[in-house]
Structure 1
C-alpha cells in the first residue's frame, strides 16, 4: 500500500541531505560537469527546482509543464545561476511542493504527468523522492547508488519495471537482485530473458545511470532500453 505521508517525509530528508552536500560547492564546482552527459551541476540543481514546481502543478490540477520546449528552456536559463541562488530556489520550490502536498485532497485521484502519462496522486511523492535521490547521485558529490536505502532501491526498481512493462521495444525480462528479489518487465509474450545482479546495478541500468556491466544476462548481451 502506498503511504504518501511516509514518502513526503522521505522527500524532506532527501532534500535536506542534498542541500547540505551541495552547499559545500563553490561556483566553479557548480559549473563543473555532472554525471549526466551535457549537463553541469547547475543544470541538475535547476532541474530539481523546476521539477518541484512541476509536481506541485500536478497536485494542484495544472499541466506539469507548459511544454517540452519550455521545460528545457527553463533548465538552460537557470543552470548558470550562482550557488546561493540555486540553493535558495531548490529549498523554496521544495517547500512549495510540500505545501501543495499538505492541502486537503483525494489521494486516490488520477493526475496527469508529462506526455499524457497518468498516475494516482498518492504516487507523486515517491516520484519526487526518486528525482531528488537520483539527481543527488548525478551531482557527483560522492553519493552513489549503493548509498541509497534498500527500501528506495526496491521501490524504484519496481517503479521502473512498471514503466517498461508492456513496452514493445523491450523484450520480456525477469530481473533478479542478488538478494533474491524478482521483477518482471518488458513485453508480455515470449520467454523472459534473465537479467541478474546487485540491486543498485539493476536500478542504475533501468534508470539509464549505468551500462549494466555488472549484470548477468544470456550470452552476456543486455537489451537496449528505450529512453524513459
Structure 2
C-alpha cells in the first residue's frame, strides 16, 4: 500500500463515505440495541462505537504529529485504553453517537492538514509498527468498515467501496508479513490482485470481501476457495 500526498484526496473521500455510513448506523441504534454482542469477543455494540471514537482521537494525534513535528502524547497503557472504552460504552445512544461524530470531525481536520505536507513522514504505532503518515486515512477507513461489519446490523462488507476493502486487505497483509507467527499464505483475489505471506505455501482465493472476512476475523464466507484445513492466523 503506497500512499502519497497525491493520494490523500481520494483516500479522505473514501474515509468520509465509510464514516457517513457508520454514523447512519450508529444514529439509528436505540439504547437497548447498544447492549447486543458483536463479532468482537466480549464487546457490545457500545464498546465497538466507543473504540471507534477513541481510535479517531489516536489518529488525530498521529496526523498532528506528522504535520507539526511535535511528538504526540505517550501511548496509553492497555489498561487505560480499556478503561476509556468502558467509560464510553456507558453513555446513552445519543451521547455515544455525538462523541463519535465529534471525534470524526476532529480527525477529518487533522487529515486535511496532511495535504500541505508533513515534517514527520514515518510514525511509530502499536501494534502496526512504523507507518507512513499518508497511509493514515486508508487505515482509518479499514477500522471503519471492519467495525461497521462487527456491529452485526444489516450493513455488510460488500457495501463498502471496493478500494476501501482493497486497502484494508493490504493493511492486514502487511501485518501478517511482519509477524513471525504468520503462516505461509498465497492470497489471490478474484479481482486480480495477489499477495504472498512467508513461503506462500497455503493458497486461498476469493473476492475482496471474502478474503477480508477471513484475514481479519477468520470468518469463512461462501465463495472462499482453499484445500485442506485453514491455517490459524495470529491474533491482532
Q: Say whether the fold is shared (TM-score over 0.5).
A: yes
Q: 1:105 Cα deviation (Å)?
A: 3.6
Structure-1 residue corresponding to 2:42: 38
Matched, 1:221 2:221: no
Residue number in structure 1 paired with 2:80:
70
Out of 60-69 and 145-154, give the one that drifted further.
60-69
Match for residue 196 of structure 1?
A: 205
Structure 2: gaps (5+ residues): 66-71
Is the CA contact (8 Å cut-off) linking 1:44 and 1:135 kept in structure 2?
yes
- Offset at residue 144 of structure 1 (A): 1.2
Whether 2:177 is the aligned partner of 1:173: answer no
| Unaligned residue ranges in structure 1 (runs of 5+) | none
Moved more, 190-199 or 4-13: 190-199
Matched residue of 1:18: which SS? Answer: helix
Q: CA RMSD in A?
A: 2.1
- Give the secondary-structure state (helix, strand or coil) at the position aligned to 2:196: strand
Structure 1 runs (4+) greater than 3 angstroms displaced: 211-214
Cα pair distance change 1:59/1:130, threshold 3 Å: same
The 1:116/1:180 distance shift into structure 2, 3 A limit, reads: closer
Corresponding residue SS for 2:28 = coil
Q: How does 1:23-172 map to 2 (within 5 A)?
A: 23-61=27-65, 62-63=72-73, 65-103=75-113, 104-106=116-118, 109-115=121-127, 117-172=129-184
What is the total number of aligned residue pairs between the two structures? 224
CA deviation after TM superposition for structure 1 residue 59, in Å = 1.5
Q: TM-score, normalised by structure 1?
A: 0.89
Relative contact order: is structure 1 or structure 2 higher (C-alpha 8 Å, sep ≥ 6)?
A: 2
Contact 1:175 1:182 in 2 (8 A): yes
Which has the higher mean CA deviation after the structures are superposed, 73-82 or 97-106?
97-106
TM value normalised by structure 2: 0.86
Once the two structures are overlaid, the 10-residue window that deviates more, 41-50 or 28-37, is 28-37
CA contact (8 A) 1:56 1:101 kept: yes
